[in-house]
Amino acid sequence: MSRRRQHGFTLLEILVVLALMAMMYALVPPMFSSGGSTELRAAARQLAAGLRKARGHAISSRQEATLTVDVEQHHFKVAGDPRRYSLPKSAELSVYTAQSEAVEDKVAAIRFYPDGSSTGGAITVADGTAKFRVDVDWLTGNVTILD
């Protein structure tokens, strides 16, 4: 009895190759993404965290709390926290808030009240290739990041 040797691939071999290709497809594109976009996304997340911290401080202390952004110096400060948080110098910052919260020409704040509501507004972090907007709902004080 002679057995003929068959040529080709088994189903298992094909599945292994497809799994490896899927992993490469998932891992390779982030390696080539621009660093600036990642830096901007991190800045938007840092701002959102600061806004949430200010809201939490207002609710827990039962006093108004603000997040103040200095557009010219590229930093922000949260009420109740002595630290200043730096933002990328390459980013273009803009703050949309109530006119009463414009402290100076290039300094503005978003205020949170003890019930969780706020003056509302948005902070935009952008460069030539990417743009992120951190929105604050005036009624609920919820913070969201939009691409």
Domain ranges in the chain are 35-146
pLDDT at residue 8 in the model: 81
- For residue 49, the model assigns a pLDDT of 96
Instruction: Give the span between the Cα atoms of 118 and 140, in whole angstroms.
Output: 7
Distance CA 92, CA 124 (A): 8
The per-residue pLDDT for 116 is: 94
CA atoms of 48 and 43, how far apart (whole Å) = 9
Mean pLDDT, consecutive 10-residue segments, the chain of 147 residues? 72 92 80 68 95 96 96 94 93 93 90 96 92 95 93
Helix (H) or strand (E) holding 28: helix 11-32
pTM for the full model? 0.75
CATH fold label, 35-146: minor pseudopilin epsh fold (3.55.40)
Q: What is the pLDDT of residue 30?
A: 59
Residue 142's identity, in one-letter code, is N
Contact 76, 68 (CB under 8 A): yes
